[in-house]
Structure 1
């Protein structure tokens, strides 16, 4: 056998050895991941650090999404939310951040009012969220700078929405409205126009001494 043939044979064996080592490493990593997943499902103490790490990364509460309200008229009403409460602020809903926007037109593309602003409070319980915010921009001069509130019930199929001015007929944008205050979620979302997602708040229940 020539030296060239021998060198090629050695190179081939080395390549196979390296490939086998990589496969073994990948297999071990996969087994480790599967083992960690199984441990998490069975409540093994070995997975506790990983579970704790994931829990720390989860935000305390959130309300996101956009959808149009159901109407029997030609009215086109849309609510959009991107509200979040960071994990570090779990005990203080008034430190929530994000944005909101609502549009009410007499018909799609028609005339009407709109407003957008910054979130200043967010609380969620199960799949229900209540949030408030300050209007920073709008075509209704009288309500700019005021606070408005919203309530969303994330039902998965047909969500519901409420707003702080439901009882007075129009967004008054009062600066006296307390944070995280709104009406019951009495309106239905129009099917196929969007969806809302509510992340349940991890309520910081008091503990004994």
Structure 2
């Protein structure tokens, strides 16, 4: 898992300016998106929000669990992702900008990664602080900033996607794709991570590098879960 990531890291110097431009463009696009909601529409939506019905706040979106996945580039390795994330809307503020109140997808929590390399006989670990979470039914995407790691760069953002799976309809304890039962009668769970199969850009010389991961950005959940599972609780975006 980590090996493939490092082979994609080339032309570090050239990527610095490109990364800055990418981040700036993303920030401008996001600010524009947030700023297009008319005040009256936002007010009407807020008035009808369940969060303001009787003063009770609905349960926020969340995803939690731990699972071992099968990564096609390292099928013999034992790779496990443990996730505990929940939305805390409008808490990551940027004073003096159009995002001064934060975003509805602001989140908190922790991601832990353990990767035992069968080839090297060594276990690599990483831990990251969750900063964004979005859900849609049984699917969640989240990002987290690395706080400790043997191999990942501290301070960089990583993206994860999770599909919690569906009902084990034939009752055999396995999904049609060979994924295992998560213990709650679900099979077919999957997880994706930003450095596994994509997130590539080209520098001015045409050489590939990995750009900055934006908040809540992650590929589709491509890696099947072999053991364990995740619970995704969906909640609609809270508009203020």
Which residue number in structure 2 is paired with residue 158 of structure 1?
188
**Match for residue 113 of structure 2?**
102
TM-score between the two structures when normalised by the length of structure 1: 0.61
Query: Residue 234 of structure 2: which of 196, 200, 207 is its match?
Result: 200
Structure 1: give runs of 5+ residues left out of the alignment.
1-51
Structure with more helix by fraction = 1
Please identify runs of 4+ aligned residues in structure 1 that moved more than 6 A.
Answer: 52-55
Preserved contact between residue 147 and residue 175 of structure 1 (Cα < 8 Å): no
Q: Is 1:148 the counterpart of 2:158 in the alignment? A: yes
Could you list the per-position Cα deviations for residues 110-169 of structure 1 after superposition, in whole angstroms to 9, with x for gaps in the alignment?
A: 3142210110000001110000000000111x5111000000011131210001112259
CA displacement, residues 24-43 of structure 1 (integer Å, 9 cap, x when unaligned):
xxxxxxxxxxxxxxxxxxxx
In the alignment, is the contact (CA less than 8 A) between 1:162 and 1:187 conserved in 2?
Answer: yes
In the alignment, the residues of structure 2 paired with residue 154 and residue 203 of structure 1 have an alpha-carbon distance, to the nearest angstrom, of 20
CA 1:157–1:95 in structure 2 vs 1: closer, same or farther (change >3 Å)?
same
Larger radius of gyration: 1
Match runs of 1:81-160 below 5 Å: 81-86=83-88, 92-107=103-118, 110-140=121-151, 143-155=153-165, 156-160=186-190
Change (3 A) 1:138 1:56: same
Contact 1:130–1:180, Cα closer than 8 Å, also in 2: yes
How far is the alpha carbon of 1:103 from its aligned partner? 1.5
**SS of corresponding position for 1:56:** coil
Task: Note the C-alpha offset of 1:57.
Answer: 4.4
Q: State the number of aligned residues.
A: 148
Once the two structures are superposed, what CA deviation does each residue of 1:43-98 show, in whole Å capped at 9, x if it has no partner?
xxxxxxxxx88993433200100000136832100001000014776x83442000
Separation in 1, partners of 2:146, 2:229: 23
Change in CA separation of 1:84 and 1:111 when aligned onto 2, cut-off 3 Å: same
Q: CA separation in 1, counterparts of 2:232 and 2:224?
A: 16
> Helix, strand or coil for the counterpart of 1:189?
strand
The 1:120–1:205 alpha-carbon spacing in structure 2 relative to 1, beyond 3 Å, is: closer
Q: Please give the TM-score of this superposition, normalised by the length of structure 2.
A: 0.54
Highest RCO, 1 vs 2 (Cα 8 Å, sep ≥ 6): 2
Indicate the residue corresponding to 1:14 in structure 2: none
Secondary structure at the residue paired with 1:185? coil
Pairwise CA distance, 1:100? 0.3
